[in-house]
Structure 1
Amino acid sequence: MPKVILVSTFPLPYPKIGSWTNMYRNYFESGQNQIDTIVCEAPENRFDGVKYALVKNTFWSKIRKKLQYYRVNYVDALLGEIKPNERYVIQFVDNYVLARHFHEKLVLKGLRQNCHVQFFYHGYEPFVPASGASGFFKEVDELILLTNESYKAHLAYYTVFPVRVSILYNGIDTSKFSKVNADEKHKIREDLGLKGDKVFVWCSQDRPKKGLAIVLDAWKSVSAKYPGHELLIIGTHKRGDFDNVRFVGKIPNDELPKYFQASDCYLFPTLCHEGFGLTLIEALNCGCHCIASEQGGVPEVLQFGKLGRLIEKPNFVSEWQTAMEDFIEGKDKPIVVENPVYTLQEWVKSMNVIIANAKNKLS
């Protein structure tokens, strides 16, 4: 039976917030893990029931890492797990250069045919230029994308696209990110000191492409017209003076659910082609009405408007102002999912199907 090896450039479990590292944490703790070995640097703690092939983290390896030669350590650790007479499913996440180095080493050793290389890509648009794509398609056996829309973008970009593709939606722990009843919501609001009639929330890193400046500009007009409402900003510190805006700053992932559960409307004003939008589905499952940019994989995540309002022109402040005012005035009926969507259980099941199919191909 082929063995499955995950190559992670982050130590797993990873103590900090990270979308795909959180999903793998949930996967290894689900009791349904099909991965045999993790190649990574030594973590603070280890998952049970999985072997670790540790990447050296010596003084010289740190120097290599600074000089971008860190891939040598990962490839060496991975090759140490490859036996000539066995077959392997190898998973790489968002690091194509590492996958390429591994491919080259396997070819030299005459072992490439024994491995099925899966590349998990968490972006949206094709990242390998068309001029260099022929090499990529030889080095990777399967490309796992987040949405069908991303697949269509790849299909349209490459005139020749000879690679197996699978789709794996993100999944979250809906036992944590879930709706609460009206009494519980009121209690959470009291605990957080929220007094607004309607509470809007934005959550991300404060980078221009995340659209915070657009939302804050729109909020000035909204708050002036409707002063009884509140906007929560999670993930960044205070910038400027705004009425009825609370800057929460950075918080641990475990504290996010209560902020989403206390809110009424989640704002996702991305100004780039997001691969998926993890906080979007976290807020959605906590009962928030979602207003999001019609960009990248987001429309598919919101089922093309069935699960939230899509903003066709997200760079226009007036579009966000109108959408927020429509929600306050009741012109937009709140869209709240009745049952959990994009669950961890679905993600685990889909991951194991992808692994099983790869094993069958090698058998």
Structure 2
Amino acid sequence: MSKVILISQIELPSSSIGSWTTLYKNYLEGNHEIDYLICPEPKNKFNNITYQFTSHSFIDKIKSKIYKKSHLSALAALSKIVKNDGKYIIQVIDNYKIVPDIVSLLQKLKIRENCKIQFFYHGFPPYLDKEKGLVFFQNIDELILLTQDSHKAHLRYYSDLPCMVSILPNAIDANKFYKLDTVEKENQKQILNITGKQVFLWCSQDRPKKGLQVALDLWNAIYEPNRILLIIGSSRTEQIPGVIFLGKIPNSELPKYYQVSDVYLFPTLCEEGFGLSLIEALSCGCYCIASALGGVPEVLQYGKYGKLINNPLDSSEWELAITEYCTNPIAFEELPNNLYTFETWRSGMNRIINEAKVF
């Protein structure tokens, strides 16, 4: 039976907040198919997995500079696991640069044919140029993407992909992100001292491509005394009427802000791989208005679950969508209960791994 090796640049479980690190934490705490985990040493460890830790000592950094490779430690860890008579599924998360060297190592050990390499990509558009991309895809056995639209974008760019492709959307903890009834929602608004307010929410990292400035410019145009905009993820302290900057909020506290919000704004200016916060907001009952970029249209099922803005830099589109919400809101469908859940993700990942074991 094939053994499964997961290679991560980030320690798992991770102390940082991220969509895929959260997913893998949940996955590795439950019924999973991973046998070995290669990563930096975490503060706490999973009990049901065998670790090989990567090192970042001064000597390792010198070697990396000399050989111009930042992943020598991960390759050394991999060489300690693989045996000449074994079969392996090697799963790599987002680290393009390590893949050719994994292939070289396996060829040197004369076990490349006994291994399958799965590459899990959390972006949306093709990352590599055509020449490098096609060589890269010849080196892997399976590409795992977040959306069907990302797969189509890859096919448009490369014309063909010489590897298998699987789709595994992101997921959330449905036990934490859920809709409150009207009474409970009002109670939570009272606790947060925002009773009687129409609550808008923006939640992301404060980088230009995430569109916070788009949301603030929009707010200047639509602000009324009965409206309030909550900003999560930004360290800004500027004073803007009706805007509350909440700073960075722990993941465990995020649900209550989604649950008291009426409208979730997602004005991204980049091709998002997925847009996980949209699913968190939808699951909590928010009316979602989002940029139609990257994987977002597919996540919202092209307008079935939320309002899509075709030109995110056109403020009039956003203003029209807000006016529509306030006067005659579109009755969007609710997400199916099992569409983007941890349980669905776990079963999907186990299926992808088990199907790869048949060789």
Gaps of 5+ in 1: none
Q: What is the match of residue 216 of structure 1?
A: 216
Pair 1:5–1:229, CA change in 2 (3 A)? same
Q: What is the match of residue 247 of structure 1?
A: 245
Distance 2:283 2:335 in 1: 7
Deviations 1:223-261 (A, max 9, x none): 1xx321111110002354321111111111111111001
Distance 2:282 2:63 in 1: 42
Q: Secondary structure at the match of 1:96?
A: coil
Q: What is the match of residue 79 of structure 1?
A: 79
Supply the AA of the counterpart residue of 1:184: E
Q: What is the match of residue 353 of structure 1?
A: 351
Distance 2:86 2:340 in 1: 35
Distance 2:285 2:7 in 1: 35
Q: What is the match of residue 37 of structure 2?
A: 38
Q: What is the match of residue 197 of structure 1?
A: 197
- 5 Å matches for 1:114-129? 114-129=114-129
Report the Cα offset of residue 212 of structure 1. 1.1
Deviations 1:119-141 (A, max 9, x none): 00001111111021232122111
Distance 1:66 1:342 in 2: 42
Gaps of 5+ in 2: none
Does residue 300 of structure 2 align to residue 297 of structure 1?
no
TM-score (ref. length: structure 1): 0.94
Q: Supply the RMSD in Å over aligned alpha carbons.
A: 1.7
Q: What is the match of residue 339 of structure 2?
A: 341
Q: What is the match of residue 150 of structure 1?
A: 150
Distance 1:340 1:134 in 2: 35
- 5 Å matches for 1:85-100? 85-100=85-100
Distance 1:258 1:95 in 2: 34
Pair 1:57–1:132, CA change in 2 (3 A)? closer
Supply the AA of the counterpart residue of 2:230: L
Pair 1:14–1:64, CA change in 2 (3 A)? farther
Q: Contact between 2:305 and 2:332, CA under 8 Å: does it hold in 1? A: no
Q: Secondary structure at the match of 2:357?
A: helix
- 5 Å matches for 1:50-199? 50-63=49-62, 69-199=69-199
Supply the AA of the counterpart residue of 2:249: I
Q: Secondary structure at the match of 1:116?
A: strand
Supply the AA of the counterpart residue of 1:229: R
Matched pairs, number: 358
Pair 1:128–1:146, CA change in 2 (3 A)? same
Deviations 1:275-324 (A, max 9, x none): 10111111111111111111111000001100000011111112112212
Q: Secondary structure at the match of 1:283?
A: helix
Query: Once structures 1 and 2 are overlaid, which stretch shifts more, 124-133 or 239-248?
Result: 239-248
Distance 2:221 2:193 in 1: 24
Report the Cα offset of residue 65 of structure 1. 6.1
Q: Contact between 2:134 and 2:158, CA under 8 Å: does it hold in 1? A: no
Distance 2:342 2:76 in 1: 33
Pair 1:117–1:311, CA change in 2 (3 A)? same
Pair 1:65–1:269, CA change in 2 (3 A)? farther
Distance 1:183 1:154 in 2: 47
Distance 2:267 2:62 in 1: 39
Deviations 1:197-224 (A, max 9, x none): 311100011111111111111111111x
Pair 1:72–1:114, CA change in 2 (3 A)? same
Identity, % of aligned positions = 47
